[in-house]
């Protein structure tokens, strides 16, 4: 999809190629968001996350720490444990997520947490490499 123009993708999503893929009931804004995700958001994760070790590939930990400290730590805390995504009995923190399911962590770093005001790498103008750096740094945080 990255090789197609925004106009081509919009036409496809509005049923112009296959009526079974007609999303024209969505607002133009939402179709535009979907077009942007298809064009810019889809990546080959195997370039950035090692499937066997679940570690970020080639992460610059220093840059990741700088980005985490200046953007993420305000809500997540410097150690990633300010917000508990689990329960009191079974807490879940940033470190747990990015170590257990780095693909979920990477997606949240890149696009935020749905339904929240979480800043995202995409909205902050970060490159995929910046997002990988944050993932790599976050994998050093405690569970």
The pLDDT score that the predictor gives to residue 130 is: 97
**Mean pLDDT in order along the chain per 10 residues (143 residues):** 83 88 86 83 91 97 98 95 94 96 95 86 91 97 92
The pLDDT score that the predictor gives to residue 39 is: 81
The pLDDT score that the predictor gives to residue 139 is: 98
The pLDDT score that the predictor gives to residue 66 is: 98
The pLDDT score that the predictor gives to residue 1 is: 66
Rounded CA separation 99/52 (Å): 12
The pLDDT score that the predictor gives to residue 33 is: 82
Domains of the chain in start order, with CATH, are 6-41 (no CATH), 45-138 (1.10.760)
Neighbours of 130 (CB within 10 A): 20
The pLDDT score that the predictor gives to residue 46 is: 94
The pLDDT score that the predictor gives to residue 2 is: 64
Alpha helix stretches (DSSP H) within the chain: 6-13, 28-36, 61-67, 73-76, 94-100, 102-111, 121-124, 128-138
The pLDDT score that the predictor gives to residue 6 is: 87
């Amino acid at each position: 999809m990255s090789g197609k123009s925004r106009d081509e993708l919009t036409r496809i999503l509005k049923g112009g190629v296959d009526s079974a893929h007609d999303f024209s009931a969505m607002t133009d804004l939402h179709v535009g968001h979907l077009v942007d995700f298809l064009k810019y958001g889809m990546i080959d994760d195997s370039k950035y996350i090692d499937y066997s070790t679940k570690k970020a590939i080639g992460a610059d930990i220093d840059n990741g720490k700088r980005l985490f400290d200046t953007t993420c730590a305000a809500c997540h805390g410097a150690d990633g444990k300010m917000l508990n995504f689990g329960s009191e009995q079974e807490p879940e923190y940033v470190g747990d997520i990015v170590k257990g399911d780095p693909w979920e962590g990477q997606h949240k770093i890149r696009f935020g947490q749905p339904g929240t005001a979480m800043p995202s790498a995409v909205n902050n103008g970060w490159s995929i490499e910046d997002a990988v750096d944050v993932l790599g740094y976050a994998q050093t945080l405690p569970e």
